[in-house]
Amino acid sequence: MTMLTVNNLVAGHGLLTAVRDVSFSVAAGEVLGIIGANGAGKTTLFRTLAGVHPASSGSIVLDGVDVTDLRPSRRVASGIAMVPEGRRLFVDMTVRENLQVAGENGRSGAWTLSTVLEALPVLAPLLDVVTGGLSGGQRQAVAIGRALMSNPLVLLLDEVSLGLSPVAIEGLYKQLAGLKGRGDTAMIVVEQDLDRAMTFSDRVICMLEGRIALEGEPQVLCKQAITDAYFGLAHGEMAHA
Amino acid sequence: MLDALIQGILLGGYYAILAAGLSLMFGVVRFINLAHGDLAIYGAYLVLFAVEVLGLSPWVAVASVVPVMALLGWLLQATLFARTIKGGFLLPLLTTFGLGAVLQNGMFGLFGSDTKSLGNHIGNLSWASWQLPVGISVGQLPVITFAVAVAVLGSLQLVLSFSKLGRAIRATSSDPEAAELSGIDARAVHRAAAAIAVALAGLAGAFLAMRALINPYAGPTQLIFAFEAVVIGGIGSLWGTLVGGIVLGVAQSFGATISAQGFQLAGHLVFLGVLGGRLYLAHSRNLGGWRGVLGMPALPLKSATQLKKVTSEGRS
Amino acid sequence: MTTYAVERWTRSGRVTVGAAAGVLLVLALLPTLATGLVIDKLTTLFIYILLAVMWNLLAGYAGLVSVGQQAFFGVGGYLALRLVDAGMTPYLALIVGAVGAGLVAIPISTFALRLKGGEFAIAMWVIAEVLRIVVMFDPLVQGETGTSLLALNAFDPDLRRNLTYWLGLGALALMLSATMWLLRSRIGAAAQAIRDDEEAAASIGIDVMRVKQIIFVLAAFGCALAGTIWLASAITFLPRTNFGVQWTVFMLFMVLVGGLKTFEGPIIGAIIFFLLQEVFGDLGVWYLTGLGVIAVGFALYLPDGLWGTWRQRTGIDLLSGGVMLKNPVTVKRAT
């Protein structure tokens, strides 16, 4: 069953077009990985899907409903939640309050404070700690928990491993793996670490200069094709050395 | 001397009610409302109207004007403030200055230029006082005002800490975009904050009219006092407005013992002094200050984070 | 690689400056032709234009939004009164008094310019209030009662009117030229860089404090000149009027209606304000209420003002306020 469909999406900053005519879809329960070099348009694509960046044209359809013109909070209510780059926690508030805020303003569903704590056990002892004082890995867990609390149909994870230690990344992906196959929630993951993205995702999209350069299942794609798409070698251009 | 001190502290209660709304708008909506003082005076005129024309009792009038003011705040945010806030720092100032001019001159046109007061509608409360054992008398009205201020700040604190709206307000104030991404409609939160702020302005105006004479052009002076209380107490801090209000009230109260003009002058000088002191602290921290000159390690200043917040908020 | 030709004077700019010189000459000779009433009205208009241009210099070009420019308007008048009281010729005292207010602005600037945004705006207002109260302590001013520049009564009324007019015209021409020169100088470019991004400006070696200080003091001097000329035409000095926040409200109104960040906008705004006052001023408070409504309307629907909007729609620019790159490309910074 298709959960999210993106049709011919275009988005930009002033005269720079960051997302050019991007179309793809995600099925319920599927994990879609988005890879690409810096500046390929991944973050702008995510911000446009979440509604914090306007789409110039194209449409975003969630579970049969066109959400392209909805403001971010309405999209959350419809079922798109994003873990933004840099986590963006409410730093003056406790872990419990961060989770609560998303829970009482988002969709209702299976994810509650207790199920989130069960899925992210690292948070249980930190509930009444102000998030400003947490470590990077702990903050990322709060950000993911906060997004889950709004019971998304589609969960967007933007660079969740950025700035974390290898140990923390390992722990984080263990917890994320536990979320896979739990319910119908589709996940779209932007990840810099290619190997990590390939092993975690059911399907990957490689973006280059705002377009989709390659799409397929990780086990089918050969390494050479990915490298070519990543650096744009298929277009006959040499990477700028 | 002790008398001036007590009077000043009690006066701080009035300033806290007036300043809490300004601080809330500043902290949550990042909006400086230059018509805040005029809205307070407008609230006072509405109470006067309810008492003199509709014949309500003063306290019933205050209780019915406060929700009207809240509605006005909600409408102002929905129609006026939200539109200008996208235009950077300058447009909100221009808009609220214009709104202030409309309110002042509109009130003059509607209610006339006479100074008015609620004082003669509240019986002997405006001058009655309680005798304290040490031979000091405190006015009943200032004590009631102070108690209302503490009650208002306390209930605001409860709302902010323990209610859904309060959490949404704090989340929006901390990061509006992340709040939207958590399902909070930031526009609705801003409207709620404006409703609270304008309601508090109206309440403050009512207390001002009980204590003193007001006229349609009294708003800007009250705005300055409110702003001074907010800055002295620390921008965006709820109980800070009470502290700032008390500091301001005490300074004014002592200034008034020296000369009539000293009332305002002392308040202004304390405000400028606090600003200057903060600048000096920030400056000496950057350069290491006298400790840097002497080669000593810098002290971890307790107010450092708060100060940073003030400057960064002032910039936004 | 594209090369850009740097151009400081557009063709229309040269034409405009030539026309301005012609207008100035006509205006200077006007007292020989026009009635006293016209001369008085024009003097008022010059004061308004001067105020609007000074506020735009501060807010539009340096990003310094002050709600306290009445401080210098009032101090200039007060110093002129003091100097006349000490025996100085009145018209010289008006100029020296404005210079004095400019000097007063220097210590104020070292404090106020370190404040940001809203704190700067309101602190300036508080400073104006402090100066008003301090001035009211001076026995010469007689507190709320105020005083008058009686020494001007020694002049023949027509001569006095014309001298004040020429002083106003001269002050306006001087400050317009100074503003134009400043904006075209390195300081003007630096100021606009600071307005757009202070940290970036500092990182490319601009002395942020010094640039702001120059503009702040110049604007203070301009407002003080307006204040002394106002004193010369009104004769009376009332602390609550001369230090009144309404002067800043008027400046805001004129700049907003005309167009912030343009050279021509404030002049147009001042003329509109002047005309509104001439036509509707008799309506009293409802006129002032109307001004507030107009200000809010402009803030909501025409935030770039009349001239700013006109310029965007037509691309016509009589005097560009800085250097222009021919064939310019604007690229918005990606966030």
The neighbour count for residue C15, using CB atoms within 10 Å, is: 12
Tell me the sheet residues that pair with C74.
none
- The phi, psi pair for A111, rounded to 5°, reads -80, 115
Chain A interface includes C332 (CB < 8 A)? yes
What is the pLDDT at residue C330?
A: 42
- How many CB atoms neighbour CB A124 within 10 A? 12
For the segment A189-196, the average pLDDT, to the nearest whole number, is 87
Sorted by where each starts, the structural domains of chain B and their CATH numbers stand as: 2-262 (1.10.3470)
Whether A89 contacts chain B with CB within 8 A: yes
Sheet bearing A2-13, strands edge to edge: A16-27, A2-13, A57-62, A65-66
Distance from CA of C143 to the nearest CA of B (A): 9
Burial of B117 (0-12, 13-18, 19+ CB in 10 A): middle
CA gap C16, A137 in Å, rounded: 63
State residue C78's pLDDT score: 96
CA angle, residues A20, A22, A23, in degrees to nearest 5: 160
Asked if the C-beta of A38 comes within 8 angstroms of chain C's C-beta atoms, the answer is no
Write out pLDDT tens, residues A27-64: 999 999 998 888 888 999 999 999 999 999 999 999 99
ipTM: 0.89
Chains with 3 or more CB pairs closer than 8 angstroms to C?
A, B
Beta bridge partners of A6: A24, A60
Q: CA-to-CA distance for A85 and A143, rounded, in angstroms?
A: 10
Put simply, the answer to whether B171 touches A81 (Cβ < 8 Å) is: no
Cβ(B56)–Cβ(B108) under 8 Å?
no
Q: How many H helices and E strands in chain A? A: 8, 10
Asked if C328 is an interface residue toward chain A (Cβ–Cβ < 8 A), one would say: no
Distance from CA of A188 to the nearest CA of B (A): 16
d(CA B277, CA C232): 39
Q: What angle do CA B259, B260, B266 make, to 5 degrees?
A: 70
> C107 in a domain, yes or no?
yes
Enter the pTM of the model. 0.87
DSSP string, B208-245: HHHHS-B-TT-HHHHHHHHHHHHHHH-TT-HHHHHHHH
Cβ neighbors of B114 (< 8 A, separation 6 or more) are B215
Q: Which residue of A has its CA nearest to C334?
A: A13
Determine the structural domain holding residue C110 and report its residue range: 27-245
Average pLDDT over residues C23-44: 87
How many of the other CB atoms lie within 10 Å of CB of C9? Answer: 14
Looking at the complex, report in whole angstroms how far the Cα of residue B80 sits from the nearest Cα belonging to chain C. Answer: 8
Is residue A201 within 8 angstroms of chain B, CB to CB? Answer: no
Place of tokens 């309405």: A74
Q: Is residue C282 predicted with pLDDT exceeding 90?
A: no
Residues A12 and A19: their CA atoms lie apart, in Å, by: 6
Residue C240: inside a domain: yes
Task: State whether residue A14 sits within 8 Å of chain C by CB.
Answer: yes
C 40-99 → B contacts, CB under 8 A: 59, 65, 67
| C136 → closest Cβ in B89, B94, B261 | B261
Q: Tell me the pLDDT of chain A averaged across its residues.
A: 88
Residues counted in chain A: 241
Q: What is the dihedral of CA A82, A83, A84, A87, to 10 degrees?
A: 160
Query: Which residues in chain A touch residue C333, judged by CB atoms under 8 angstroms apart?
Result: 13-14
Distance separating alpha carbons of residues A190 and A46, to the nearest angstrom: 9
Question: Is a pLDDT exceeding 50 seen at residue A130?
Answer: yes
Residue C287 lies in a domain: no
The verdict on residue C269 lying in a domain is: no
Strand pairing category for A203-208 and A31-36: parallel
Q: What is the pLDDT of residues C254-264, one digit of tens each?
A: 999 999 888 88
Number of domains in chain C: 1
> Is residue C328 scored above 50 in pLDDT?
no
Element spanning B256, H or E: helix B238-258
* Closest chain A residue by Cα to residue C331: A15
Distance CA B182, CA B190 (A): 16
Name subunits touching A (3+ CB pairs < 8 A). B, C
> What pLDDT is attached to residue B3?
86
**Nearest CA to CA, how far is B36 from chain C (Å)?**
13
Which residues of chain A does B181 touch, with a Cβ-Cβ cutoff of 8 Å? 50, 52, 72, 76, 81-82, 84, 88
A144 touches chain B (CB under 8 A): no
| Contacts of residue A167, Cβ cutoff 8 Å, sequence gap at least 6 | A137
pLDDT digits 0-9 by tens, C66-125:
999 999 999 999 999 999 999 999 999 999 999 999 999 999 999 999 998 888 999 999
User: Which of B170, B175, B181 has the CB atom closest to A50's CB atom?
Assistant: B181
The answer as to whether C206 is a domain residue is yes
Chains that touch B (3 or more CB pairs under 8 A): A, C
- Name the phi and psi angles at C164, rounded to 5: -65, -40
pLDDT digit string (tens) for chain B, length 316 residues: 788 999 999 999 999 999 999 999 988 988 889 999 999 999 999 999 999 999 999 999 999 999 999 999 999 999 999 988 877 778 888 899 999 999 999 999 998 888 888 888 888 887 788 888 877 888 899 999 999 999 999 999 999 999 999 999 999 999 999 999 999 999 999 999 999 999 999 999 999 999 999 999 999 999 999 999 999 998 778 899 999 999 999 999 999 998 888 899 999 999 999 999 988 888 777 665 444 444 444 444 433 333 333 333 333 3
Residue B172 makes CB contacts below 8 A (sequence gap 6+) with B28, B179, B184, B186, B189, B190
State residue A125 phi and psi, 5-degree precision.
Answer: -75, -10
* pLDDT reported for residue C7: 57
Q: Kind and range of the H or E element at A167?
A: helix A166-179
Q: How far apart are CA C228 and CA C170, in angstroms?
A: 13
Residue to test with chain C: of B86, B93, B263, most C Cβ within 10 A: B93
Q: Are B28 and B160 in contact (CB under 8 A)?
A: no
Contact indicator for B45, B101 with CB cutoff of 8 Å: no
Facing residue for B315 by CB, picked from C116, C249, C252? C116
Tokens standing for residue A124 = 């249980």
The radius of gyration of chain C from alpha carbons, rounded to an integer in Å, stands at 20
- Residue at C255 is within a domain: no
Helices of type H across C243-321? 246-258, 264-280, 285-301, 305-314
CA distance C168 to B261: 34
Q: Which helix (H) or strand (E) holds A5?
A: strand A2-13
Tokens standing for residue B144: 């009631």
CB C229 within 8 A of CB C91: no
Distance CA A118, CA B153 (A): 38
Question: Which pLDDT does position B316 carry in this prediction?
Answer: 33
Whether chain C has a CB inside 8 Å of the CB on A13: the answer is: yes
Question: Tokens 């023949």 — which residue?
Answer: C156
Q: How confident is the model at residue A13 (pLDDT cuts 50, 70, 90)?
A: confident
Other CB atoms within a 10 A radius of the CB of residue A92 amount to 15
- Closest alpha carbon to A22 in A42, A51, A1, A52: A42
Q: Which range (A133-137, C198-202, C322-326) has the least confidence?
A: C322-326
Q: Would the CB atoms of B90 and C245 count as touching at under 8 Å?
A: no
Whether C283 and chain B come into contact, CB under 8 Å, resolves to no
Distance from CA of B182 to the nearest CA of A (A): 5
Q: Is the pLDDT of residue C332 over 50?
A: no
Distance CA B76, CA B122 (A): 31
Angle between helices C264-280 and C246-258 (to 10 degrees): 120
Report d(CA B107, CA B279) in Å as an integer. 39
Report the alpha-carbon distance of residue A191 to residue A159 in Å, rounded.
5
CA B208 to chain centre: 12
C310 pLDDT more than 50:
yes
The answer on pLDDT for A223 being more than 80 is no
Question: How far is the C-alpha of A127 from the C-alpha of A97, rounded, in Å?
Answer: 8
User: What's the gap in Å between the CA of C313 and the closest CA on chain A?
Assistant: 19
A45-49, C34-38, C322-326: range with lowest mean pLDDT: C322-326
Give the list of residues 6+ apart from residue A219 with CB closer than 8 angstroms, or none: none
> What domains can you pick out in chain A, each with its CATH number?
26-38+76-235 (3.40.50.300)
Q: Give the mean pLDDT of C173-179.
A: 93
Chain A nearest-CA distance from B177, in A, is 7
**d(C-alpha B38, C-alpha B226), whole Å:** 12
In a domain, C319, yes or no: no
When scoring C69, C70, C300 by the number of chain B Cβ atoms within 10 A, the one with the most, hence best to mutate, is C300
pLDDT value of residue C323: 45
**Residue C271 domain-assigned (yes or no):** no
Residues of A in contact with B178 (CB under 8 A): 84, 88-90
Residues 16-55 in A contacting B (C-alpha not used; CB under 8 Å): 50-52
8 Å CB contact of C333 and A13 = yes
How long is chain C? Answer: 335
pLDDT of residue C202: 85
Task: Give the model's pLDDT for residue A234.
Answer: 53
| A2, β-bridge pairs | A27
pLDDT tens-place string over residues A78-120: 999 999 988 899 999 999 999 999 999 999 988 999 999 988 8
Q: What is the mean pLDDT of residues C147-172?
A: 90
* Yes or no, beta carbons of A13 and C330 under 8 Å apart: no
pLDDT at C14: 77
Take residue C315 and report the two structure tokens written for it: 């691309």
Q: What is the DSSP letter of B296?
A: P
∠ CA B127-B130-B133, rounded to 5°:
145
